Chain A
Amino acid sequence: MATLSIRDVRKSYGSVQVLHGVDIELEDGGFLVLLGPSGCGKSTLLNMIAGLDDTSGGDILIGGRSVLDLAPKDRNIAMVFQSYALYPTMSVARNIGFGLEMRGVGADQRTRAVEDAARMLQISHLLDRRPANLSGGQRQRVAMGRAIVRDPELFLFDEPLSNLDAKLRVEMRTEIKRLHERLGTSIVYVTHDQIEAMTLGTKVAVMKSGYIQQLGDPRTIYERPANMFVASFIGSPAMNFLAGRLVPDSEGVLFQASGVSIVLPTRNRQVGSERPVMLGIRPEELRTVAENRASIIGEIDVVEPTGPETMVTVQVGENAIIARLPPRFAGRRKEPIFLAVDPASVNLFDPDSEQRIDI
């Protein structure tokens, strides 16, 4: 177990800079998720922590000690790869114990460690098989076994679930969370799946184009996204954006757009002046109300019942927004719909810089 400090880490290939000074501190036993679309630099960052890639600047400390001069094997890390990277010519048992074998751990001790890890991951019956004879989910477990058997200071996961089918992915996600809670080892986890980030992380770094867009706990990132990219990347269906104007009002400020009028309480005096803004509303924050209490008036476009809830696409002036409503919602296409939202749950963004405006 150890803390991880990433300090002003940079990476460039030739003249192309792919990471622009990243700073992250991870507490001992924490679970850091690096989240972002492909090409955002998250895998590069993970490889640099592992020592599989050189840094172009900055420092990386594991347990308070700089590891930049250490080879991957000396960093006391264990890594789980997206492709699992199991050695095809070795049995499952030897695959799991290979790291220990290379470190000169005796055969007896190795066997015990492999069996313990296999039991924890429920793959004891597979130890004699070859990777080629395993299913995707089983390979995934072997890859995790290979990591935990080493009892490292830090686990690195590189999109470990993206090669699994949807059902297995949910199962393994729970498994990883259970494993983390049981072992208590710090984890860095790379993914482009925002649900994995939300469910697993104690800390999430949302990345784009080599910059960290926001670093925080999943709740904060979901409820108070730092900019419109983070707001739209996290959450499904994505956050609704409404372009409108902010107008000073006796109770605070008033957001106005075609079909929309919401009073927002504010303590930030600077917000008070009139200006164009983007209003962000999560689909689940919208609810239907009586006409006289509505702050958003629109027309129903599409109604999609999913079982536990019903997604309703609503045309509001120029904009289309999605509302996540109760399953028994009875509206029909072309009917008017009256919606309200808790003013405390909305987010305001500057339309030019796309940065969050605190209200």
Chain B
Amino acid sequence: MRALGELSETRYWMYLLLLPSLALILLVIAYPTLYGMAISFREMRLTRPGLDGWVGFKHYLAMWSDPVFWIALKNTVVWVAAAVVLELSLGLLAATALNRDLPGTKIFAVLILLPYFLPNVVAGHMWALLLDPRLGVINDLLVRLGVLQAYKAWFADPNTALAATILVEAWHGFPFFALLLLAGLKGIPEDLYRAAAVDGAGLAAQLRLITLPMLKTVIAAAVILRVIGLVNSPDLLLILTGGGPGDATQVLSLYAFQTAYKEFNFGYASALSVVMFVTLMIFAAGYIRISRITKGQGDD
């Protein structure tokens, strides 16, 4: 006990105290991540138990010549970029409206969050039904309004499938931006807008020179979080299209998921995941640098 007492007086004590949490992190975060990465350099197919052992960069080379990988990569970029742009715009619009302290805004603030409360699976099935080629309400409405000649199978047409899933995702994800941006808007002093009004800055100038710069940090954080979420979650697409028709809505996360749990090819699926992981890291680092949020407001 005396030895412990003496140890607690040294500067090594703090490292000792950090050990339990370090062990926990190694166990639940570092080990699975590294193990997953290691699999990508191995052959691991549940359908071929005998096939085992290290294969080096075989999976990565195979990916290079895999047309589905390139389609999935392109679709991921389109799907994520379009969804984030739509969600950010809708979110900003909703947040600005909710920030105006009009009667009823409190109720709307809760109502507008509802899509986000719905689990992806529920939202996916709901929209699948709404857009159903035979029973869908939306088809019915569009036909009655004269926009469409006949019912349309939105998710079965390669030309509309990706766009339709993007719209569903935008509906589901914009409250996330609305909520964060509303919190950001509340932090902007009202006096800035009053000063701008006296100075003669119009609404566009106020948005460009006050609102957006003041929301920069919030927007950057929200976009990073949302991009990571979108790249990594295949659930909505899994329910709406399963990646089809053909590979029209195939994205990397879904491709990796299907490779692992339909073809049971864990080695290749793991290589796909590592590529996603590295891509996201590069994206996040680059995005933070571009939006300069680490340097603090006002001195960029």
B278 at the interface (CB under 8 A from A): no
Check B201 against A71 for contact (C-beta < 8 Å).
no
Interface positions of A from 58 to 91, Cβ below 8 Å from B: 71-73, 77-79, 81-85, 87-90
Check B214 against A81 for contact (C-beta < 8 Å).
no
With most chain B CB atoms within 10 A of its CB, the pick from A89, A98, A102, A146 is A89
Check A88 against B214 for contact (C-beta < 8 Å).
yes
Check B198 against A133 for contact (C-beta < 8 Å).
no
B296: chain A residues at CB < 8 Å are 132
CB nearest to B205 among chain A residues:
A102
Check A103 against B200 for contact (C-beta < 8 Å).
yes
B19 at the interface (CB under 8 A from A): no
Q: Which of A72, A87, A90, A130 contacts B198 (CB 8 A)?
A: A72
B189: chain A residues at CB < 8 Å are 83, 85
B24 at the interface (CB under 8 A from A): no
Bound-state Cα–Cα, A301 to B299, Å: 57
Q: Which of A52, A73, A88 contacts B199 (CB 8 A)?
A: A73
Bound-state Cα–Cα, A71 to B200, Å: 9
Chain B contact patch, size range: 20 to 34
Interface positions of B from 199 to 234, Cβ below 8 Å from A: 199-201, 205, 209-210, 213-214
B198: chain A residues at CB < 8 Å are 50, 52, 72-73, 77-79, 99
Least CB distance, A83 to chain B, in whole angstroms: 5
A131 at the interface (CB under 8 A from B): yes
Bound-state Cα–Cα, A22 to B195, Å: 25
Interface residues as binary, B162-195 with A (CB distance below 8 Å gives 1, 0 otherwise): 0000000000000000000000000001011011
Bound-state Cα–Cα, A78 to B196, Å: 11
Name the 7 nearest CB pairs between A and B, nearest first.
A132-B298, A73-B200, A85-B191, A85-B195, A102-B200, A89-B213, A99-B199
Q: Which of B195, B199, B298 contacts A89 (CB 8 A)?
A: B298
Check B194 against A81 for contact (C-beta < 8 Å).
yes
Bound-state Cα–Cα, A82 to B195, Å: 11
Check A133 against B298 for contact (C-beta < 8 Å).
yes
CB nearest to B189 among chain A residues:
A83
Bound-state Cα–Cα, A89 to B197, Å: 17
CB nearest to A102 among chain B residues:
B200
Interface of chain B, main secondary structure = helix
Least CB distance, A147 to chain B, in whole angstroms: 9
A82: chain B residues at CB < 8 Å are 191
Q: Which of B191, B201, B300 contacts A83 (CB 8 A)?
A: B191
Least CB distance, B7 to chain A, in whole angstroms: 44
Bound-state Cα–Cα, A51 to B194, Å: 10
With most chain A CB atoms within 10 A of its CB, the pick from B192, B199, B214, B296 is B199
Check A88 against B297 for contact (C-beta < 8 Å).
yes
A73: chain B residues at CB < 8 Å are 197-200
Interface residues as binary, A127-167 with B (CB distance below 8 Å gives 1, 0 otherwise): 00011110000000000001000000000000000000000
Bound-state Cα–Cα, A77 to B297, Å: 30
Given contacts A51-B197, A89-B209, 8 further A-B pairs with CB under 8 A are A72-B194, A79-B195, A81-B194, A83-B191, A85-B195, A88-B297, A102-B199, A133-B298
Check B298 against A130 for contact (C-beta < 8 Å).
yes
Check B214 against A85 for contact (C-beta < 8 Å).
no
A79: chain B residues at CB < 8 Å are 194-195, 198
A146: chain B residues at CB < 8 Å are 195, 199
Bound-state Cα–Cα, A47 to B198, Å: 11
CB nearest to A100 among chain B residues:
B199
Interface residues as binary, A91-134 with B (CB distance below 8 Å gives 1, 0 otherwise): 00000001100110000000000000000000000000011110
Least CB distance, A284 to chain B, in whole angstroms: 39
With most chain A CB atoms within 10 A of its CB, the pick from B194, B197, B198, B299 is B198
Check A72 against B205 for contact (C-beta < 8 Å).
no
CB nearest to A104 among chain B residues:
B200
Bound-state Cα–Cα, A146 to B191, Å: 14
Bound-state Cα–Cα, A303 to B209, Å: 57
Check B197 against A87 for contact (C-beta < 8 Å).
no
In the complex with contacts A89-B213, A90-B209, A133-B299, A98-B194 CB distance below 8 A: no
Check B195 against A132 for contact (C-beta < 8 Å).
no
Q: Which of B195, B201, B298 contacts A81 (CB 8 A)?
A: B195
Least CB distance, A13 to chain B, in whole angstroms: 12
Check B197 against A85 for contact (C-beta < 8 Å).
no
Interface residues as binary, B75-89 with A (CB distance below 8 Å gives 1, 0 otherwise): 000000000000000
CB nearest to B193 among chain A residues:
A85
Least CB distance, A173 to chain B, in whole angstroms: 21
